[in-house]
């Protein structure tokens, strides 16, 4: 009996060791999410969030930039004060570094709201191999369930384009379509 307990305890410790830590979190990019969440991806692709990085380029939305006393001819794509809210995972391990090094993380992608995917996008968790995964297991592995605070990291008065942000209204409008999933994941 003691031997069985030790084997079980060792298995639990090994499984916990495989869970991501904040230091090891890695971003996978929306193209990985797209494989299983195509309707959500397609609707997100049509949003301003997917194109957020483009707004930092010179000449883009020049009139709006002028109206907010921002130089419309300046390239803001490497300004950390701007980039942090226009890309995915800036300043985080495996997150956006630059348009040259990590172009696949430009724009506000899935992981900007749902957390870096490498921790929960695994065969034993969220995958086509495990179609009946449980949401609680994904959260334990690092998936974020967005809240008002998630959004207000960027939608706040630090932004020169700030407009009052109502989380509940935005939730009703949606950032992407919320299609019923084929399998239950409660």
Domain ranges of the chain: 26-173
Letter string b/e over residues 114-138, b meaning 16 or more CB atoms within 10 A of that residue's CB: bbbbbbbbbeebbeeeeeebeeeeb
Paired tokens of 27? 């971003």
- Kindly state the average pLDDT of the residues 68-83: 96
pLDDT score for 24: 53
* pTM for this prediction: 0.80
What is the band of 175 on the pLDDT scale with cuts at 50, 70, 90? Answer: confident
pLDDT at 8 over 70: no
As a CATH number, domain 26-173 is: 1.10.1130.10
- Kindly state the average pLDDT of the residues 102-106: 96
The answer to whether 57 and 77 have CB atoms below 8 angstroms apart is: yes
CA distances from 132 to 62, 124, 126, 135, 144 (A): 48, 10, 9, 9, 19
């Amino acid at each position: 009996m003691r031997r069985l307990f030790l084997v079980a305890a060792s298995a639990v410790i090994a499984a916990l060791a495989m869970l991501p830590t904040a230091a090891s979190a890695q971003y996978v990019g929306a193209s990985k999410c797209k494989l299983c969440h195509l309707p959500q991806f397609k609707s997100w692709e049509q949003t301003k969030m997917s194109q957020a990085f483009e707004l930092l380029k010179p000449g883009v939305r020049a009139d709006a930039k002028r109206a907010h006393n921002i130089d419309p001819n300046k390239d803001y794509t490497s300004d950390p004060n701007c980039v942090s809210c226009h890309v995915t995972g800036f300043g985080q391990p495996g997150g956006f570094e630059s348009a040259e090094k990590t172009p696949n993380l430009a724009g506000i992608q899935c992981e900007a709201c749902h957390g870096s995917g490498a921790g929960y996008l695994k065969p034993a968790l969220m995958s086509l191999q495990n179609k009946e995964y449980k949401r609680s297991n994904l959260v334990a592995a690092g998936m974020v369930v967005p809240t008002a605070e998630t959004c207000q990291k960027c939608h706040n008065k630090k932004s020169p384009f700030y407009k009052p942000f109502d989380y509940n209204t935005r939730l009703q409008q949606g950032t992407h379509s919320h299609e019923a999933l084929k399998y239950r994941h409660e």
